[in-house]
Amino acid sequence: MTREEIVELFARRDAAINEQDLEGLTALFAEDAVVESPLGGTHQGRAAIGAVFKAFFDAFSDATIATDDLIIDGDRVVQVYTLSGTDTGGMMGMAPSGKPAQLPIVVVARVADGLITHERRIYDFTGMLVQIGVLKAKPA
């Protein structure tokens, strides 16, 4: 893929997340794509990837992302974006807290033939759970 094609792919990924377009979003992944996510664990294939995105959209119905950086090196991509959203739907079996979260998220990806083939998400997952009230943290 050319650099321009990769930039366009990730612009479509951003738009699909911001529009909560589950079908459009999963179509950006290869049929056998693997995603490693703190929220969903390691999962493979469009159906599983879509199910994890749906759980996220159900939890954060107003979630938006804004890309800060996109670093492209051949078929490898690192995208950094800021996620903003409110726990309106509940997460991990908990009732919705109504609390907002805002945090940077890194996506480490590989691409081929116009699609994402591997995606790994790295961020302060525990901090996010504290922000939305799923976890309570205090000094030891």
Partner 1 sequence: MTRDEIAAMFARREEAFEEMDAEALAADYADDAVIESPTAGTHQGPAAAAQALDAVFHAFADMTNRTESLLIDGNHVAQVLTLEGTNLGGLMGLPASGRHFRVPAVFLYELRGDKIVRERRIFDFTGMLVQIGVLKARPA
User: Which string of x and - marks every residue 31-70 that binds partner 1 (by CB under 8 A)?
Assistant: -------x------------------------------x-
Q: What are the Cα distances from residue 86, in Å, to 12, 52, 55, 73, 97?
A: 23, 17, 14, 34, 8
Instruction: Kindly state the tokens that stand for 80.
Output: 């950094």
**Which listed residue (4, 23, 73, 113) binds partner 1 by CB under 8 A?**
73
Report 77-136 residues binding partner 1 (CB under 8 A).
77-78, 80, 94, 97, 104-106, 108, 120, 122-127, 129-130, 133-136
Give the other-Cβ count within 10 Å of 95's Cβ: 10
Q: For partner 1, which stretch binds (CB under 8 A), given 8-16, 17-25, 44-52, 72-80?
A: 72-80
Q: Is 1 in the site for partner 1 (CB under 8 A)?
A: no
Which 8-state DSSP code applies to residue 91?
Answer: S
Q: Is 4 in the site for partner 1 (CB under 8 A)?
A: no
Q: Give one DSSP letter per residue of 25-90, joined into a string.
A: HHTTEEEEEEEEETTTEEEESHHHHHHHHHHHHHH-TT-EEEEEEEEEETTEEEEEEEEEEE--S-
| Residues of the shown chain interacting with partner 1 in the complex, contacts defined by CB under 8 A | 38, 69, 71-73, 76-78, 80, 94, 97, 104-106, 108, 120, 122-127, 129-130, 133-140
